[in-house]
Amino acid sequence: MRDFARWSVVTGALLAMYANAWAAAPATRPVQRTKAEVEALIDREGRTPPPWWNSVQLDYPKTLDLTWKPTKEWNNQRNVGQYIWDIIDPNPGKWKEGVKLVHHVLAINKDNPDGIQKSIEALSRLYFELLQDYPRAAFWGRKYGRDPVRLAVCYWKMGNKQMAVAEITGMQDYTRNGEIIKLWASMGELQKALDLVQGVVDYGRPDVAYLAAGDAYRLFGRYDDAIKCYEKVLPLTRGGPDFKLSLERARASIQAIKVFDALDLSRIPDGAYRASSVAFTGPLEVEVTIKAGRISGVRVTKHTEKQFYSSITDTTGQIIAKQGVKGIDATSGATITSEAIINASAKALASGMK
């Protein structure tokens, strides 16, 4: 606790010193909170140590430059950001260690405004994408002040739809993978999600638009409409930065959805079934275990993803909880990896049906 107390004191001082600068800068949720409850939760959690704090040691290469200075070439033993990207993000066993490191870096940079800002953004992202600690992600996200979509997801996950809606109302979706469309759909607002699709097409990313629309329809169980959207991707000749991947994703999603309605767990013998689907960096393989007519386990057995964040545990957990692949909400920040897990699981289950 002494270690965190030192961090807390330094953090409190930094919050006071830079307060003015920072200021400038479908399913029912299981927990519903008022705005006042969310505000209290963010303040309480953001200013106290995570439960795991004392069990995690501060450990990092002594060659790291903790001032966030850029390097001329990629060096994950010198540059903090590159160390987080290469070493922390792909290794779940190091996620908490990485968060503790960034808190330390924040304290080290108490006289460096640029270092403070980068540390704050990193804390918001790591708490959000890796640990799914939404109160602390929101606490630091507010200090960062440049990612309203992430903040909206935090509010939604904490149980207040109105706060989430206030963040993204009026926004067009210029995100890489249609994250705003996804969020509207996740909050049960299919039409508002679809209203953004044409804007993404006009922005020059029709593949992203139709994939996001297909995902929205799929979340609502409108599989014929989802397939029609995915099919619009196939004849395209241009799109966003991941265009070739978009074509593969569309084909994989069509293939997976065609088995959705036919899946019947009672017709699948006990055993482990494997299948693969296309993820961001290559094929992703899952193993789905059936026992007594129920999904007893879902495990990602092979993948080459580097930035999968919490999708592997989150998505597999949802499939087990829902006992199927319908209505699974792709993990925010790792939509493509999450989608691959859903599609591969559907194919694995279909392969075992008799």
Q: What are the structural domains, with CATH classification, of the chain? A: 2-165 (no CATH), 170-258 (1.25.40), 263-352 (3.90.1010.20)
Which of 155, 159, 214 has the alpha carbon at shortest distance from 182?
214
Structure-token pair, residue 226:
């989802």
CA 125/CA 149 separation, integer angstroms: 12
Half-sphere exposure of 240 (CA within 13 A, CB side): 23
| The residue type at 241 | P
Tens digit of pLDDT at every position of the chain (354 positions): 444 445 544 454 444 444 333 333 354 456 899 999 999 999 999 999 999 999 999 999 999 999 998 888 999 999 999 999 999 999 999 999 999 999 999 999 999 999 999 999 999 999 999 999 999 999 999 999 999 999 999 999 999 999 999 999 999 999 999 999 999 999 999 999 999 999 999 999 999 999 999 999 999 999 999 999 999 999 999 999 999 999 999 999 999 999 988 899 999 999 999 999 999 999 999 999 999 999 999 999 999 999 999 999 999 999 999 999 999 999 998 999 999 999 999 999 999 998
* Token couple for 97: 């260690």
> If we measure between CA atoms, which residue out of 321, 316, 322, 289 comes closest to residue 303?
316
Taking residue 65's Cβ as centre, other Cβ atoms within 10 Å add up to: 14
Helix or strand or coil: residue 283? strand
DSSP class of residue 79 equals: B
- The alpha-carbon radius of gyration of the chain (Å, integer) is 21
The answer to whether the CB of 186 falls within 8 A of the CB of 330 is: no
Bridge partners, 283 (sequence order): 278
Tell me which residue has tokens 């599609």: 343
